[in-house]
Copies of this chain bind each other. A is one copy, B any other.
Amino acid sequence: MHRITNHKEIIDKIYEEIITGDNLGAPAGYIPELAKVDPNQFGVYFMSTENDTYGKGDWQTKFSIQSIMKVLSLSLAYQMLGDSIWKRVGVEPSGSAFNSLVRLETDNGIPRNPFINGGALVICDMLLSQLKNPLFDFLSFVREVSGSDKVYYNETVAQSEASVGYRNIALCNFIKSFGNIDNDPNEVLDFYFHMCSIEMDCQQLAHSFEFLMDGKFRTKNGSSVLNLSQSKRINAIMQTCGFYDESGEFAFKVGLPGKSGVGGGIVAVHPEKYCICVWSPNLNENGNSHRGMKFLERFTTETELSIF
């Protein structure tokens, strides 16, 4: 069984190749605030189960985690509600774009998985019903799993997204029309847009996924986030559904469970081995970071360390 011992050299090498190469794509244009980000930023943070860590480039710059939050909200809901959550959201890849409404119509309002927007809205709705102070409590959870108190919502981004989030408003009300949203759609959406607006740097984000890497994570007060079986299952969903309509391509080329966000961040996990976060704002046509995808493909090829 391989261990990476030369991860620094490999990261340095691939990083150089990529940063000196093209920087195709563009930042997410539909959210005014995100469109302003400098597209040339590029950060990487690596951590292993043996406590090797290595940051490269803009790894300490915060960015909007966007859809990556879906892994964290799912984990919290899974912890609080157990397998009952799967009555309201599936675990199958959607075969469609992240904000498609088509499948929902044939599936009677049960989103295919928790990582398409519809599924994440249903998870939001569950948390809204469970948490006393949803915004405060969720942020506390994120701070705990990231091991950092310096994690915040970006109110401007949340508002920016709400102001143009017609597709998400449509999705949420559509699911509500099938009875699979309990709360007021406007409240669910407000919570959702705030969650997406959370900002972290590569290091914080990689640490937030530590419990999916080793299945042993415990919060400061000692309570485990998820049991081993649950964390394996979330990894499985990330593998099959983490990159929207490019999930198969990511499995094919990178071979790791992971999750991307339109802020340009990607976190990928090699269970029991390592966790890696990359960030670069320019997105490819599927809404995933251009340089991030490239970096991870090269990284698993060089290290021969995919899960397959």
Query: B-contacting residues of A (Cβ < 8 Å)?
Result: 1, 90-96, 100-103, 105-106, 112-113, 166-167, 169-174, 176-177, 185, 228-229, 231-233, 235-237, 239-241, 245-249, 251-253, 255, 257, 271-272, 301, 304, 306-308
Contacts and interface: CB of A to CB of B under 8 A. Distances in A.
A228 B170 CA distance: 39
Contact of A248 (B92, B173, B245): B92
Contact of A307 (B166, B171, B308): B308
15 contacts: A90-B248, A91-B248, A92-B246, A93-B95, A101-B174, A166-B177, A169-B185, A170-B174, A231-B308, A232-B308, A233-B255, A235-B308, A236-B306, A240-B240, A241-B248
A175 to B, nearest CB: 8
Contact of A255 (B232, B248, B308): B232
Contacts of A252: 91, 233, 236-237
A134 B237 CA distance: 39
A5 to B, nearest CB: 16
A230 to B, nearest CB: 11
Contact of A100 (B105, B112, B185): B105
Contact of A112 (B91, B95, B167, B185): B95
